[in-house]
């Protein structure tokens, strides 16, 4: 066995990867070619006999003529099978020269020089992964499908952003390429595929990423932190902080809201809150209308005591 690649390098489709010992395949090919040559000679001789019988049809019986014709047909079938065996042997011999089926990055070798391998091995020689372009599969909630279908139906090219595991750094920007044809009943989501050029190799095969799909852009909407919006069996609500004049006099009021699009950390508010109001986002399970709260960052500093003159 001989390798033509270095672990981790990028190879193009059709480039040689490795040579497997071809001698066993060469022996099989030689045997198949010998069998084919022998049967072709027998076929040629049978055709000559048939031609002689046809020329001397008055001197032979009909049975002899039919037998000669059947022998020719039988040998023609044998030759056809021999040709298939030769082509198969040639194909197996070609497989001893392993080439890259796709363009991609080569992983670590699964075997070394001197190892015995066979076509039934599950590991193979090496794994090639396509990285340029690369696709990301993700899911969207069932409730977001109508808006997604509307955007796709209009022919819009939807942009997809891939973020790191923490969701803070954007890794790549790509396009939505395909939608699955059914909803996953177990998760209530629809799988989507996004395609990224990945020329800078920032996306890695089997990497976990957070995905943001832009279906529609809205301007002039009111956004609040998603953590501030609570859901009950009757409505969605927030706790609005009403600033007081005295220290620790801020109180909250429960207010029902009508929400729109939810984009991760932010939620669109259609009705119930106006811009500039302060919403509670922490300790919500302990709040109700009239509860006094302390707003972070608004704690009033203690007054500085007046300077007392020193006694003489």
Q: What is the DSSP code (8-state) at residue 245?
A: S
| pLDDT for the residue 248 | 63
- Residue 86, exposed/middle/buried by CB under 10 A (0-12, 13-18, 19+)? buried
CA dist., res. 222 & res. 277, Å (int): 11
| pLDDT for the residue 301 | 42
Ranges in the chain, pLDDT < 50: 299-305, 308, 310-312
| pLDDT for the residue 292 | 83
Contact assessment for residue 195 and residue 175, using Cβ atoms and an 8 Å cutoff: yes
Residue given tokens 């023609």 in the structure block: 76
Q: 177: cis peptide before it, omega within 30°?
A: no
Q: What is the pTM of this model?
A: 0.61
Residue given tokens 């969605």 in the structure block: 236
CA dist., res. 158 & res. 288, Å (int): 42
Hey, what are 130's tokens? 């396509």
pLDDT (tens digit, 9 = 90+) per residue, 53-103?
A: 888 877 778 888 888 889 999 999 999 999 999 999 999 999 889 899 999
| pLDDT for the residue 246 | 62
Please report the domains of the chain, with CATH numbers, ordered by start residue: 1-11+101-129 (no CATH), 22-95 (1.10.287), 134-214 (2.40.30.170), 222-293 (2.40.420.20)
């Amino acid at each position: 066995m001989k390798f033509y690649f270095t672990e981790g390098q990028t190879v193009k489709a059709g480039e040689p990867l490795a040579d497997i010992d071809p001698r066993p395949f060469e022996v099989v090919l030689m045997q198949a070619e010998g069998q084919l040559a022998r049967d072709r000679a027998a076929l040629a001789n049978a055709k000559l006999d048939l031609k002689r019988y046809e020329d001397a049809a008055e001197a032979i019986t009909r049975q002899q003529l039919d037998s000669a014709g059947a022998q020719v047909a039988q040998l023609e079938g044998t030759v056809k099978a021999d040709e298939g065996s030769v082509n198969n042997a040639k194909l197996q011999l070609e497989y001893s020269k392993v080439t890259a089926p796709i363009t991609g990055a080569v992983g670590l070798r699964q075997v070394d020089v001197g190892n015995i391998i066979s076509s039934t091995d599950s590991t193979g020689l090496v794994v090639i992964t396509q990285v340029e372009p690369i696709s990301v599969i993700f899911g969207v909630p069932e409730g977001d499908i109508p808006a997604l279908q509307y955007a796709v139906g209009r022919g819009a090219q939807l942009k997809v952003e891939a973020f790191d595991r923490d969701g803070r750094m954007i890794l790549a920007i790509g396009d939505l390429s395909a939608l699955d044809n059914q909803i996953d009943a177990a998760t209530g989501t629809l799988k989507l595929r996004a395609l990224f050029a990945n020329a800078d190799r920032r996306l890695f095969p089997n990497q976990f990423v957070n995905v943001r799909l832009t279906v529609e852009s809205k301007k002039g909407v009111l956004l609040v932190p998603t953590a501030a919006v609570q859901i009950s069996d009757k409505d969605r609500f927030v706790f609005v902080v009403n600033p007081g004049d005295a220290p620790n006099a801020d109180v909250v009021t429960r207010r029902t809201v009508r929400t729109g699009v939810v984009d991760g950390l932010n939620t669109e508010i259609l009705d119930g809150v106006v811009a500039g109001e302060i919403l509670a986002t922490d300790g919500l399970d302990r709040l109700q209308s009239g509860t006094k709260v302390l707003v972070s960052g608004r704690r009033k500093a203690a007054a500085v005591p007046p300077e007392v003159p020193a006694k003489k």
